[in-house]
């Protein structure tokens, strides 16, 4: 190979090799994830837990990493549940009404509305109004008879309608937040929850097949409560008791010990436990793990403190956070603070869920987690949740809240949330805040703590101001959460699709088989008809398919079954561009042109036809994308990506290949008899 030519042709070689290389590089994680999953599945099937643990240790991180960058499969291929939820406006209108005021007349209006709303596209509120005017108004009722807006002075029908409309508009955000938390808690990996329009939520839940349980989870309304925070020495002592209990149990003595019923019921229990630990620490030197390797130290620590080693405990002393050492066993009175990294959450929750462990926690207490990791720490790349010990009995439930609004403090410009309560709530709120000045009250939705503000003063009049949010987003989230108290966001399932894992696997197998056969048929035809030229087209097609998959993977698109159909279709249509060029080259050759001119002319003249025909298909792809849903969008995307890659591979990659061949005096005949070839003049 003369080096001179190589230097002239390096750009063309790059066009040949780079796209293919880049595509394969992008697809490598997909391949890696696939092989690792297979190995893991084989180990799981064999039931060898030792090897499985070893595999997890060796490849766990690699698998996780590969999966993150791998091509995502649609629900129709991997199995799972696809749900569309819609705000149940009729239910919302019912719940927003004063319970005592609801009578038969009102129920009639709601029923008529429900029936019409089933099929109509008209906004439900206007359907409701129409029926209200028809049924209830002649009987002397107005909206004011059923809805309470709080302030009596400014009450009017318009105000009520405005409020209802705002509630309807907010409902979907609220449902989204609640459902996201629940789905997270349920442990659905890679769940996707998206708003569609202003009333709908689309959920993609891979791997979920227990549809009844999931439905339940999605359709129950959330509960908002205010609970006192009890991060005190009693709580810490209970945690320490759990350590002791688990440790004893693990070292095989559990059968001889009965755990104390509750620490509350037996005040002596904590004392004995405490003296136990005090003795054990005094027996040893200051550091019981002295002289051990770091790893061993870790292991021993975890063995000795199976529960409290999962999180970090601080004692708050003069506003400073002092880490608590559970080995010392003495816990001063006062306020504590707990933080737990995300990685430990699963183990923490499993331990806590055990009924025998639950008995060690005072009956009036419960442990709750923050809804989100700490935002300040998250910015630094740590996912740390806060633990709260709460008084189980709520001080107040959210239905007394009439409104909540995120805004800014007029003087400090910090984000704040304003919260209004009804008269009854305001009275109780004043009592509660009055009795707990300087203490924290947690705002709990669905069992998760969204905020735990400190009570600054006794709040009378029902209007509270919550400060200390680290961002506008956080304030807005709190607003949504507080509104869940004022208003339940009832949702109903209007579309639900479940694909069992066996059908998904079957679809993948069939899709793969059809693709391979289709590809081979195209190869056979192209090489048979255009000989070496056909082989060039086949190479371009190969690059094309690799690029489609790579782009899909890079843009985080999902491959669906219709998407596979799109790729197969692209295989058939992609060679059209090559066919157009080759036919053009043949024509030019028949006219007696030299190969050089024929190749140039062929490419030049075929260009406009290729562009026009691909653009029309691209237009329909776009329209399909905007009007289709789920898997069909997957088809539209592969179709559009396929058109772009086809233009690139057929016009640029294949051309580069042909030019390289010509530079080495390898002259393709494009399936024409040799007689048509005029000796190259150059």
Partner 1 sequence: MEFFTKANIDFLGKRRVFLVLSLVFNIVGILVTAMFGLEYGIDFEGGTEIAVQIQPPPEVGEIRAAIGAAGFHGAEIKSYGRPNQFLIRVKESSGQTEPSTAILTALRERFQDRQLTLLKSDKVGPKIGAEMRLNAAIAVVISIVAILLYIAFRFEFIYGLGATVALVHDVIVAISAIAIVHHLGLLRIEVNQSVLAALLTVVGFSVNDTVIIFDRIRENRERHKGMNLIKLMNLSINETLSRTINTVLTVVLVLLALLILGGEVLQGFAFTMLVSILTGTYSSIYIASAFVIWFLEKVRKVDLEGEYRRLKELERQAAVQT
User: Which of the stretches 4-12, 185-193, 220-228, 489-497 binds partner 1 when contact is defined by CB under 8 A?
Assistant: 489-497
Q: Pick from 248, 439, 497, 596: which binds partner 1 (CB under 8 A)?
A: 497
C-beta closer to partner 1: residue 416 or 641 = 641
Name the minimum Å distance from CB 258 to partner 1.
42
Q: Which residue has the tokens 């890659």?
A: 645
How many Cα neighbours within 13 Å face the side chain of 374?
Answer: 13
Q: How do the residues of the chain divide into helix, strand and coil, expressed in percent and rounded to 5?
A: 60, 15, 25
Nearer to partner 1 (CB atom), residue 28 or residue 618? 618
Return all residues near 56 (Cβ < 8 A) that are at least 6 apart.
none
Among 70, 547, 639, 658, binds partner 1 (CB under 8 A): 639
| Residue recorded with tokens 């507080």 | 482
Residue with smaller CB distance to partner 1, 445 or 499: 499
How far apart are the C-alpha atoms of 207 and 385, rounded to whole Å?
26
- Cβ burial 168-180 (10 Å sphere, 16+ → b, else e): bebbbbbbbbbbe
| Closer residue to partner 1 (CB): 209 or 281 | 209
Region from 90-98, 238-246, 440-448, 616-624 binding partner 1, contact rule CB under 8 A:
616-624
> Hey, what are 433's tokens?
């805040």
**Residue 337 backbone class (left: φ over 0; alpha: ψ -120 to 50; beta: rest):** beta
Q: Tell me phi and psi for residue 422, to 5 degrees.
A: -75, 175
**What Cα–Cα distance (Å) separates residue 533 from each residue in 141, 524, 575, 650, 669?**
83, 13, 11, 12, 7
Which of 428, 458, 596, 605 touches partner 1 by CB under 8 A?
605
Which residues, numbered 2-21, are part of the site for partner 1 (CB under 8 A)? none
- The angle at the Cα of 407, spanning 476 to 149, to the nearest 5 degrees, equals 90
Mask: binding to partner 1, 281-300, rule CB under 8 A, as x and -? --------------------
Contact residue for partner 1 among 529, 539, 601, 660 (CB under 8 A) = 529
Of 84, 176, 645, 649, which lies in the binding site for partner 1, with binding defined by CB under 8 A? 84
Contact 449, 394 (CB under 8 A): no
d(CA 354, CA 242): 11
We find the least distance from the C-beta atom of residue 631 to partner 1, in angstroms, to be 7
Which 3 state secondary structure label does DSSP give 443? Answer: strand
The correct pick among 510, 592, 664, 680 for binding partner 1 (CB under 8 A) is: 510
Helix (H, G, I), strand (E, B) or coil at 70: coil
Q: Are 639 and 557 in contact (CB under 8 A)?
A: no
Residue 423 tokens, joined: 């008269």
Q: How far apart are CA 9 and CA 22, in angstroms?
A: 20
Closest CB to partner 1 among 260 and 562? 562
Give the span between the Cα atoms of 126 and 120, in whole angstroms: 11
Residue 455, phi then psi, degrees to nearest 5: -75, 120
Centre a 10 Å sphere on the Cβ of residue 498 and count the other Cβ atoms it contains.
17
Q: What character string, x for contact with partner 1 (CB under 8 A) and - otherwise, covers 159-198?
A: ----------------------------------------
**From the list 95, 335, 383, 496, which residue makes contact with partner 1 (rule: CB under 8 A)?**
496
Give the C-alpha separation, 377 to 370, whole Å. Answer: 14
- Binder to partner 1 among 608, 675, 679, 681 (CB under 8 A)? 608
Query: Of 402 and 507, which has the nearer Cβ to partner 1?
Result: 507
Closest Cα to residue 468, out of 446, 495, 441, 505? 441
Does position 121 interact with partner 1 (CB under 8 A)? The reply is yes
Q: Which stretch binds partner 1 (CB under 8 A): 166-174, 525-533, 548-556, 648-656?
A: 525-533
Q: Which is nearer to partner 1, 88 or 94 (CB)?
A: 88
Our CB check for partner 1 shows the closer of 272 and 629 to be 629
Residue number, 295 or 612, with CB nearest to partner 1: 612
Residue 500 interacts with partner 1 (CB under 8 A): yes or no: yes
Of 114, 138, 136, 139, the residue nearest 127 (C-alpha): 114
Cβ neighbour number for residue 400 with a 10 Å cutoff = 21
Q: Does 528 bind partner 1 (CB under 8 A)?
A: yes
- Select 215 or 428, whichever has its Cβ closest to partner 1: 215
Smallest distance, Å, CB 138 to partner 1?
30
Minimum CB distance to partner 1, residue 34 (Å): 21
- The interface with partner 1 within residues 29-68 (CB under 8 A) comprises none
Identify the residue among 352, 430, 514, 554 touching partner 1 (CB under 8 A): 514
Minimum CB distance to partner 1, residue 261 (Å): 41
Smallest distance from partner 1 to CB 604, Å: 11
Window 559 to 598, contacts with partner 1 (CB under 8 A): 561-562, 565, 568-569, 571-573, 575-576, 579-580, 583, 586-587, 590
Which CB, 311 or 530, lies closer to partner 1? 530
Interface positions, 618-637, toward partner 1 (CB under 8 A): 618-621, 623-624, 626-629, 631-632, 635-636
CB 79 within 8 A of CB 500: yes
Q: Estimate to the nearest angstrom the gap between the alpha carbon of 345 and the chain centroid.
A: 18
* Of 100, 104, 118, 158, the one binding partner 1 by CB under 8 A: 118
Residue 350 CB contacts under 8 Å (≥ 6 apart), including other chains: none
User: Mask: binding to partner 1, 343-382, rule CB under 8 A, as x and -?
Assistant: ----------------------------------------
Work out whether 260 is an interface residue with partner 1 (CB under 8 A): no
Give min distance, CB of 635 to partner 1, in A.
5
Q: Is 333 helix (H, G, I), strand (E, B) or coil?
A: coil
Number of residues that bind partner 1 (CB under 8 A): 77
Rounded Cα distance between 125 and 165, Å, is 8
Binding to partner 1, residues 653-682 (CB under 8 A): 671-673
Number of H helices, E strands in the chain: 22, 18
196-235 positions binding partner 1, by CB under 8 A: 209, 211-212, 215
Q: Residue 300 CB, nearest distance to partner 1 (Å)?
A: 48
> Which two structure tokens, joined as six digits, stand for 491?
């949702």
């Amino acid at each position: 190979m003369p080096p001179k030519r190589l230097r002239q042709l390096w750009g063309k070689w790059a066009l040949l090799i780079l796209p293919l290389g880049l595509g394969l590089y992008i697809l490598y994680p997909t391949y890696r994830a696939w092989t690792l999953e297979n190995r893991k599945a084989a180990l799981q099937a064999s039931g060898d837990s030792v090897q499985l643990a070893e595999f997890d240790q060796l490849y766990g991180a690699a698998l996780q990493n590969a999966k993150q960058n791998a091509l995502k499969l649609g629900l129709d291929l991997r199995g799972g549940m696809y749900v569309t939820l819609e705000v149940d406006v009729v239910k919302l209108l019912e719940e927003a009404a004063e319970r005592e005021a609801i009578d038969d007349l009102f129920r009639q209006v709601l029923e008529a509305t429900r029936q019409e709303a089933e099929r109509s596209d008209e906004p439900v509120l206007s359907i409701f109004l129409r029926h209200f005017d028809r049924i209830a108004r002649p009987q002397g009722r107005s909206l004011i008879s059923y809805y309470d807006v709080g302030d009596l002075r400014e009450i009017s029908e318009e105000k009520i309608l405005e409020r209802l409309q705002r509630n309807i508009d907010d409902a979907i955000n609220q449902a989204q937040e609640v459902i996201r938390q629940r789905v997270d808690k349920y442990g659905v990996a890679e769940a996707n929850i998206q708003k569609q329009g202003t009333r709908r939520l689309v959920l993609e839940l891979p791997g979920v097949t227990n549809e009844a349980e999931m439905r339940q989870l999605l359709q129950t309304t959330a509960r908002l409560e205010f609970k006192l925070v009890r991060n005190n020495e009693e709580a810490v002592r209970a945690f320490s008791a759990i350590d002791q209990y688990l440790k004893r149990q693990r070292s095989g003595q559990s059968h001889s010990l009965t755990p104390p019923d509750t620490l509350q019921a037996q005040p002596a229990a904590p004392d004995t436990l405490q003296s136990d630990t005090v003795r054990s620490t005094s027996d040893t030197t200051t550091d019981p793990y002295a002289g051990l390797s770091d790893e061993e130290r870790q292991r021993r620590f975890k063995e000795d403190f199976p529960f409290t080693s999962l999180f970090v405990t601080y004692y708050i002393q003069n506003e400073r956070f002092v880490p608590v050492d559970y080995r010392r066993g003495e816990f001063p009175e006062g306020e504590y603070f707990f933080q737990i990294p995300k990685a430990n959450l699963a183990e923490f929750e499993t331990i806590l869920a055990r009924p025998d462990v639950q008995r060690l926690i005072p009956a009036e207490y419960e442990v709750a987690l923050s809804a989100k990791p700490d935002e300040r720490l998250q910015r630094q790349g740590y996912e740390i949740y806060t633990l709260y010990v709460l008084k189980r009995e709520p001080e107040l439930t959210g239905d007394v809240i009439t409104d909540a609004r995120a805004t800014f403090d007029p003087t400090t410009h910090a984000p704040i949330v304003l919260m209004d309560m009804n008269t009854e709530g305001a009275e109780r709120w004043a009592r509660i805040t009055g009795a707990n000045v300087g203490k924290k009250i947690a705002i709990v939705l669905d069992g998760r703590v969204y905020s735990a503000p400190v009570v600054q003063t006794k709040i009378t009049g029902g209007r509270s101001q919550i400060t200390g949010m680290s961002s506008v987003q956080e304030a807005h989230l709190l607003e949504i959460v507080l509104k869940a108290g004022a208003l339940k966001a009832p949702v109903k399932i209007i579309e639900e699709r479940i694909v069992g894992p066996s059908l998904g696997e079957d679809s993948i197998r069939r899709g793969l088989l059809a693709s391979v056969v289709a590809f081979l048929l195209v190869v056979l035809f192209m090489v048979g008809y255009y000989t070496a030229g056909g082989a060039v087209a086949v190479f371009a097609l190969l690059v094309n398919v690799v690029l489609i998959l790579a782009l899909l993977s890079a843009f985080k698109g999902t491959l669906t079954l219709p998407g596979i159909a799109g790729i197969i279709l692209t295989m058939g249509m992609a060679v059209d561009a090559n066919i157009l060029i080759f036919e053009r080259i043949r024509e030019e050759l028949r006219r007696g042109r030299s190969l050089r001119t024929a190749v140039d002319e062929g490419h030049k003249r075929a260009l406009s036809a290729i562009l026009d025909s691909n653009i029309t298909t691209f237009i329909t792809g776009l329209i399909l994308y905007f009007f289709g849903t789920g898997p069909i969008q997957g088809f539209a995307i592969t179709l559009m990506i396929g058109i772009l890659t086809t233009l690139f591979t057929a016009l640029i990659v294949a051309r580069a290949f042909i030019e390289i061949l010509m530079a080495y005096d390898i002259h393709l005949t494009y399936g024409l008899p040799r007689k048509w070839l005029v000796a190259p003049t150059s």
